[in-house]
Amino acid sequence: MAVIGIEPPSPLYEHEHALFRESFRAFLTQEVVPHAAAWERDGIVPRELFLKAGEHGFLGMAVPEELGGAGAADFRFNAVISEEATYAGVASATMGLTLQNDVCLPYFLEHADDEQRRRWLPGIASGELVTAIAMTEPGAGSDLQGMQARAVHDGDSYILNGSKTFITNGIHADLVIVVAKTNPAAGARGLSLLVVERGMDGFQRGRNLEKIGQHAQDTAELFFNDVRVPAANLLGQEGMGFVYLVSHLAQERMSIAVGGLAAAEAAIAWTVDHVRARNAFGRPIGSFQHPRFVLAECRTEVAVTRAFVEQCLRRLVAGTLSGEEAAMAKWWCSELQGRVIDRCLQLFGGYGYMLEYPIARAYADARVTRIYGGANEIMKEIIGRSMGLGDR
Ligand SMILES: Cc1cc2nc3c(=O)[nH]c(=O)nc-3n(C[C@H](O)[C@H](O)[C@H](O)COP(=O)(O)OP(=O)(O)OC[C@H]3O[C@@H](n4cnc5c(N)ncnc54)[C@H](O)[C@@H]3O)c2cc1C
């Protein structure tokens, strides 16, 4: 594959990240790439993938060593996983691992009490426990405060009722962080996080939803009918759910940004290879000015974006990344991903429309990144409001 993007190694990454990258690449080659097409057809990866990833140290890197992790709270390791899976054209197969590491784990690491940490973190790191986070409901996505899920105190438990949709890892999840209203009158201060476990009475999964892309990733509806959730499964403090969500959404958005940028880098590399090899009118397509200019423009946009993303990643690792910077990265990278992949796909001609080509799958996989993790319009609201430009 043509060399674009992070090679030769970017200054963001150090020796230990390079070793981790090498070993994750080998894992992908052995355990994921040969099966990815079958998993895309199945609409789900096997559970064993989580166990294998855990066994090889690709889950819960940030979990302390004494609880089964690597004690490596450094998001650059997470970024390496996203980049490598994307370059290998199998990001949809590893999306569940990424969700566990990048999105769900921080809630357990920061808000679980000692007993919960002992109960859950070892399984999250080993892959015995698959996690999901359920915010979105059929009637409320962008407007989280409009959610209906309700948890009412009953002795030393909560009784949870409601339904969630579009939940990544929804079919596989053993632990679902459910966002529910514990005090509907308190607005943003009335949301709490409850961990619902596989097998609790009244917890049911709906369909594994059929999507345009990301076919190997399970995305499901979840239903909660009078589920008795022990108070011992409350994550953090009651009423603090919204505050926790806001604090962790920045990392979720960086995860989407890193994946989007890597997808654009991969698309350029695949396309450079293609236009060099494919002939039309007696010469390689890449020798015509138009394809050359398209790829030159894409490469420049990607290189400029990488500089900003790496700056954001450094701040994320240092704990100084702001919510609006993460929103900028998520908005920009997901738009870039769509734009670059679309332009590259055109240069593949009819082959670009065939799902056996990674560029076609990348095209279908990309569309959702402008929607999930907060729609890009919401990202612009966050950025605009940070400039003092609110309604009130
Ligand atoms: C594949 C996939 C996986 C997902 N995984 C998860 C998951 O694991 N957990 C989870 O909780 N959710 C998940 N989601 C849900 C996702 O986060 C929501 O779809 C997203 O936040 C948008 O919410 P919505 O679909 O309800 O759209 P709506 O809120 O109905 O918004 C629709 C559109 O209206 C516009 N809009 C809305 N509000 C505004 C505004 N204030 N200003 C301007 N325009 C606005 C935007 O264009 C937006 O795209 C997933 C979704 C998909 C498709």
pLDDT of 392 = 61
Which phi and psi angles does 281 have, rounded to 5°?
A: 55, 35
Q: Map residue 372 onto helix, strand or coil.
A: coil
Q: Would residue 210 show up in a list of annotated catalytic residues for this protein?
A: no
Half-sphere exposure of 122 (CA within 13 A, CB side): 7
Please give the model's pTM, rounded to 2 decimal places: 0.97
pLDDT of 11 = 84
Please report how the helices 75-87 and 289-318 are oriented relative to each other, as an axis angle in degrees rounded to 10: 160
**Cα(86)–Cα(80) distance, integer angstroms:** 10
How do the domains of the chain map onto residue ranges?
Answer: 15-129, 132-239, 243-386
Which phi and psi angles does 347 have, rounded to 5°?
A: -75, -10
Q: Which of 367, 372, 380, 383 to mutate to test the pocket of ligand 1 (most atoms within 8 A of CB)?
A: 372
The 8 Å CB, 24+ separation contacts for 137-142 are: 137/162, 137/163, 137/164, 137/165, 138/163, 138/165, 141/166, 141/375, 142/374, 142/375, 142/377, 142/378
pLDDT digits (tens, 9 = 90+) for 63-79: 999 999 999 999 999 99
Cis peptide before 8 (omega within 30 of 0): yes
Q: Which CATH number fits domain 243-386: 3.30.70.2740, 3.40.50.920, 1.10.10.10, 1.20.140.10?
A: 1.20.140.10
10-residue stretch averages of pLDDT, the chain, 392 residues long: 53 94 97 97 98 98 97 96 97 98 98 98 98 97 94 97 98 98 94 98 98 98 98 98 96 98 97 97 97 97 96 97 97 98 98 97 98 98 94 68
Q: Which CATH superfamily is domain 15-129 in?
A: Acyl-CoA dehydrogenase/oxidase, N-terminal domain (1.10.540.10)
Q: Which of 95, 137, 148, 166 to mutate to test the pocket of ligand 1 (most atoms within 8 A of CB)?
A: 166
Torsion of CA 17, 312, 320, 19, to 10 degrees: 0
How close is the Cα of 81 to the center of ligand 1, in Å?
25
Q: Whose CA is nearest to atom 43 of ligand 1?
A: 377
- Token couple for 139: 């009637």
Active-site entry in 252, 265, 310, 325: 252
pLDDT of 8 = 45
**Cα(168)–Cα(219) distance, integer angstroms:** 4
Within this chain, domains 15-129 and 243-386 share the same CATH topology: no
Domain boundaries 132-239, CATH class = mainly beta
Q: Which of 175, 371, 381 to mutate to test the pocket of ligand 1 (most atoms within 8 A of CB)?
A: 371
What radius of gyration do the chain's Cα atoms show? Answer: 21
Which phi and psi angles does 372 have, rounded to 5°?
A: -85, 170
Ligand 1 pocket residues where CB is under 6 Å: 132-136, 141-142, 166-168, 211, 214, 219, 368, 371-372, 374-375, 377-378, 381
